[in-house]
Amino acid sequence: MTIHNKKTLWMIAGGEMQIPTAHCIKRKGYNLIISDKNPRAPCRKYADKFFCIDIVDLEKSKSIEKYFKNKISGIFTIASDAHYTANYFAKKNKLHHTKLNISKICKDKNLTRKFLKGKLSQPKNYLISSYEDYIKKLKNFDKGYALKQLNLSGSKGFYEFKSNHKLSKKQFSKILNFNLKNKKILIEEKLLPKRNTLSEMSAETIWQDGKIIYFNCVDRIFPRDTMAYKNLPKSLYNDYKAGFEIGHINPSLKSKNEILKIKRIMLKLGNLLGYNKMKKCHILKADIFFSEKGPIILEMTPRLSGGYDSTGSAIIRGIKLSEAIIKISQGGRFKKKELKYYFKDNNKKALVISKYIENKRLFYIAFGKKKINNLFKDIKLKIKKNILLKNEKYFI
């Protein structure tokens, strides 16, 4: 790769979810370095230099740093769990980053629960490391429970059970030993969703010099949500594993009042983590479960949702999160008059639905200013005719 005088950004993870951002970076004329362990990473074609390295492997990623010494002006990740890697190398190279301690708390489900305990509503949970622990703790969950790996995402490490379902030692050990690095898992109260509402939300915020400047909520659709049963083909939710997201609606359909409550939670969360004292721009996203007892933070993370989730559907809404991350990663700030350009929406709604076919995730989209029922009708038709969301068409 020839390093021109152009600026160089290192994006960690180059899967399908990162395509809109990779594309945007190239369109803006930057050099783009991508690291991803998949040699056929979908973003590879956009990269000036591609490194086939696991996104959470700090040791191996050092070779990238060496190769580009002093030539990188921003390091970030979007829609991936590699925020610790991004912040670690950004810090080491004296580039803008969010505190490593925040990444540390956010990437470990146990540390997240410990941090939030007594501050914001949390499901009852225990860290367990043996079958004996499991049997002992089981008694505390009379309405069902979940077992979770500490740092596996994408629902790969999530299992839910009825309260009377006791695993055999063999079954339990399989889950416990899935990630040999940890050998510890969380046993957690199974949350029951509030009725007649989409049960989860992703709330994204960007903070500049301690103040929230961007706030948006996206409804996440899960097989448990009755809205899915009413509006979507059965094939989409019938065989889904618990905890698998079917799609999302951007922006959220929840009432203004409900959204205000979530904004207050995000403000409190940001203050607890110290976002109110941080200079320049920092991202905070949380996944929120609407339980019978009120909203509960399931996860929090210092990076943008990205992909078709928010960055993708946000493009349709006129919001420029990929451009924003380019600026943020280089330590930039948004001037007052720029806020409208980056973050003002055009009143459109987007409904994105995904479907797994032989381990490949396909996406369908419907969008416009129409009522949500009409978007569901549109998307049903697209699913029937297999009209897929093609990145380039929407994101270029």
Residues that bind Mg ion (CB under 5 A): 287, 299
Complex with Mg ion: residue 114 or 380, whichever CB lies closer: 114
Cβ nearer to ligand ADP, comparing 42 with 144: 144
In the complex, the smallest distance separating the C-beta of residue 303 from Mg ion, rounded to whole angstroms, is: 13
Q: Which of Mg ion, ligand ADP, none has residue 123 at its interface (CB below 5 to 8 Å by kind)?
A: ligand ADP
In the complex, minimum distance from the CB of residue 298 to ligand ADP, in angstroms, rounded to a whole number: 5
| Distance from C-alpha of 176 to C-alpha of 159, rounded to nearest angstrom | 12
CA-based angle 373:369:251, to the nearest 5?
80
For residue 200, the partner it binds in ligand ADP, Mg ion, none, with Cβ less than 5 to 8 A by kind, is ligand ADP
Can you tell me the distance from the alpha carbon of 117 to that of 188, in angstroms, rounded to the nearest whole number?
13
Select 73 or 80, whichever has its Cβ closest to ligand ADP.
80
Out of ligand ADP, Mg ion, none, which partner does residue 190 contact, by CB within 5 to 8 A per kind? ligand ADP
Measured from the CB atom, the residue of 52 and 152 that comes closer to Mg ion is: 152
Nearest approach, Cβ of residue 47 and Mg ion (Å) = 27
User: CB–CB of 90/97 below 8 Å?
Assistant: yes
Q: Coil, strand, or helix at residue 121?
A: coil
Residue with the shortest CB distance to Mg ion: 299
Using Cβ positions, the residue closest to ligand ADP within the complex turns out to be 243
Contact 158, 242 (CB under 8 A): yes
Measured from the CB atom, the residue of 222 and 334 that comes closer to ligand ADP is: 222
For ligand ADP, the binding residues (CB under 6 A) are 123, 146, 148, 153-155, 158, 188-191, 200, 222, 243, 287, 298-299
Q: How far is the CB of 88 from ligand ADP (least distance, A)?
A: 20
Nearer to ligand ADP, 200 or 378 (CB): 200
Q: How far is Cα 89 from Cα 214, in angstroms, rounded to an integer? A: 26
Which does residue 191 bind out of Mg ion, ligand ADP, none, counting CB within 5 to 8 angstroms by kind?
A: ligand ADP
Distance of CA 317 to the CA centre of its chain: 19
Please give the sequence-ordered ranges of beta strands (E in DSSP) within the chain, or none if there are none: 8-12, 31-35, 49-51, 74-77, 125-128, 145-149, 158-161, 185-189, 200-208, 211-221, 247-250, 281-291, 294-301, 349-357, 360-368
Distance CA 276, CA 278 (A): 6
CB of 130 to ligand ADP, least distance (A): 21
Half-sphere exposure of 77 (CA within 13 A, CB side): 25
Residue 75 site contact among Mg ion, ligand ADP, none (CB < 5 to 8 Å, cut-off depends on kind): none
Considering beta carbons, is residue 275 or 290 the nearer one to ligand ADP?
290
- Please give the Cα distance from 210 to 28 (Å, whole number): 28
